[in-house]
Structure 1
């Protein structure tokens, strides 16, 4: 059996979607499954969620085509849209909806004649200053789109929060006020995972849950479990060796960790080649036989070394959990000075995703 493995809890995924539905009962749901389903496997996640969402959102054309090739027939939105004729034609062929957010995309829609007109969302920039038309230009953009023969319909208007992961943030309130003051008779979408939880007034006609579907918290001060969510990925491996070292022995590349006494050191089949962060802090916990032990020394491409002084009965082949229900990925992300989004998204393709 290959190690490591990413175990995907299918019941937990459905549970988290039910939480979204309960928190936003009057909103339709765009399940965000970009970046390979946040590292969980885009096709697998889509097949599990397809009966519970109203649409899917992905970032890239290739993601949308892959879903179509795997017989995912529900509406799919390309959140970044497209930027050239070939991609626009591919989007039309595969019946993918586009987010239109820039004047260059308007020009493209006017220049290309599509045999199968596409449906679109229009994005307005309410203050994040990344993608979207400025509010003063949104009316003209919508008029152009409505008169474009390559567009079959405008599904709705959307924007994106910059700081929704901060509770009671004044800038978030300001963005929402800008959006609500636009006098446009279209269905609206604004709320991401953080806003669904912290700003229910932003839920509107459509919500766009991403991280919370995977049981992970969008907030720095709370885990997914503390929000009532269930983590769906368990990154699992095993001990492949145990070394009995002596006082002063150096461990790993750079000899950065020195044994303070005679002690057992375990070697785990997991490394940055699998997506585990190389820059993780020493003493970061990892579970051996369900009990936490500290990581010591540098993370290698394929291996991690761990202090087994509290697990003297550990044996080669014993199970190791890098993160999961009993060790939140949010805690590991904190030890790596990053966010949990990055950790789950960077689990590499050589780690098999196994539905459980």
Structure 2
């Protein structure tokens, strides 16, 4: 078998959840959408079952997978429902759901649940992706209340730039949120994502929503990385399975986009973009080979990539390559590919998953 292994450290997952919950100061949902950001939603939910206040997913099918695995915790559908028919499953499985649009509100009003829904009503406080505009929010609340279909209504918004703590937008969104919900009946509020939990104390409300930080990846820019004691959950590793010596002036890989500038010892590694490693990762992207830092050289192929072994004479066939994990941050790799750490994590596939 290909020696490509994603080791998932569930103790680190639990640690990160506890760090986020302590930072938030109140109940916190563990966000497991996109198969727990590539880590395995069911296994992560099971590992958190005795400490988590609840879970959040993007959509119904993700929630039903957790329910089928015996997860009885509250589960919030962050995108709500897409068809009125889905409300039957929401009712049957006692799921919580976001209501972010007029269409979803009408679905609730026209439904006939056995028990009133637990609704999270989304305010568009400035991100302009989803949610009711400030001038429409009170009316949406009153309609839910009048419908008798909503047992509880949690006031909710989402930050656009909480991961840029030096900018004023998050404070402005909080001010807008507080101004809009003032005058509505008291009840739970939820505004903080991972970056909000870590960097914005004013975002501490009744429910936090910890996503990327749950997996030990900071959402924060340089200078703020140590805002919390996060531990990487995934360690993504492969091995060198081929070695060759090239003279100076020789191209490597597709497109000749890397040419050796000295005699170079090249290692061939069993991982490529079909496995989730970013195709656009540039030469110079960091790797760890038998515990020593080196770099990617040449273009990433579908099933393999090439690394520089020149200054590591003791490495060779069978050497372990940490693509990201404990020393090489997935954020470092993502930066070399012009993306963010979320993306490569969500894309991991064709690897053996080793849960510990």
Q: Is 2:136 the partner of 1:143?
A: no
Cα distance in 1 for partners of 2:165, 2:322 equals: 31
Give how far 1:74 is off: 0.4
Give how far 1:3 is off: 2.4
SS in 1 for 2:303: coil
Name the residue aligned to 1:323: 324
Cα distance in 1 for partners of 2:203, 2:224 equals: 22
Name the residue aligned to 1:276: 277
What does residue range 306-345 of structure 1 map to in structure 2 within 5 Å? 306-345=307-346
Q: CA-to-partner distance for each residue in 1:28-49, whole Å, 9 max, x for gaps? A: 1111111111111111111111
Cα distance in 1 for partners of 2:95, 2:225 equals: 31
Name the residue aligned to 1:261: 262
Name the residue aligned to 1:45: 44
Q: Check conservation: 1:128, 1:162, Cα contact below 8 A.
A: yes
Q: Check conservation: 2:277, 2:344, Cα contact below 8 A.
A: yes
* Count of aligned pairs between the two proteins: 353
Cα distance in 2 for partners of 1:178, 1:329 equals: 34
Cα distance in 2 for partners of 1:248, 1:136 equals: 64
Q: CA-to-partner distance for each residue in 1:311-332, whole Å, 9 max, x for gaps? A: 1121211111001111111111
What does residue range 121-270 of structure 1 map to in structure 2 within 5 Å? 121-151=120-150, 153-181=151-179, 182-183=181-182, 184=184, 185-222=186-223, 227-270=228-271
* TM-score of the aligned structures, taking structure 1 as reference length: 0.94
Q: Check conservation: 2:117, 2:152, Cα contact below 8 A.
A: no
> Unaligned stretches of 5+ in structure 1?
none
Distance change in 2, residues 1:35/1:48 (3 Å)? same
Q: Check conservation: 2:19, 2:228, Cα contact below 8 A.
A: no
> Unaligned stretches of 5+ in structure 2?
none
Name the residue aligned to 2:93: 94
Cα distance in 1 for partners of 2:5, 2:71 equals: 25
Name the residue aligned to 1:290: 291
Distance change in 2, residues 1:243/1:223 (3 Å)? farther
Name the residue aligned to 1:71: 70
Name the residue aligned to 1:16: 16
Name the residue aligned to 1:104: 103
Give how far 1:244 is off: 2.1
Q: Check conservation: 2:37, 2:342, Cα contact below 8 A.
A: yes
Give how far 1:111 is off: 1.9
Q: Check conservation: 1:247, 1:262, Cα contact below 8 A.
A: yes
Cα distance in 2 for partners of 1:285, 1:83 equals: 41
Give how far 1:342 is off: 1.2
Give how far 1:158 is off: 0.6
Name the residue aligned to 1:352: 352
What RMSD over aligned residues (CA atoms) do the two structures have, in Å?
1.6
Give how far 1:53 is off: 1.6
Q: CA-to-partner distance for each residue in 1:100-140, whole Å, 9 max, x for gaps? A: 11111111112232335432111111111111111222222
Cα distance in 2 for partners of 1:247, 1:194 equals: 46
Q: Check conservation: 1:216, 1:224, Cα contact below 8 A.
A: no
Q: Check conservation: 2:57, 2:63, Cα contact below 8 A.
A: yes
Distance change in 2, residues 1:91/1:222 (3 Å)? farther
Name the residue aligned to 1:114: 113
Cα distance in 2 for partners of 1:100, 1:4 equals: 41
SS in 2 for 1:201: helix
Cα distance in 1 for partners of 2:332, 2:75 equals: 33
Give how far 1:335 is off: 1.1
Distance change in 2, residues 1:125/1:90 (3 Å)? same
Give how far 1:155 is off: 4.2
Give how far 1:247 is off: 3.1
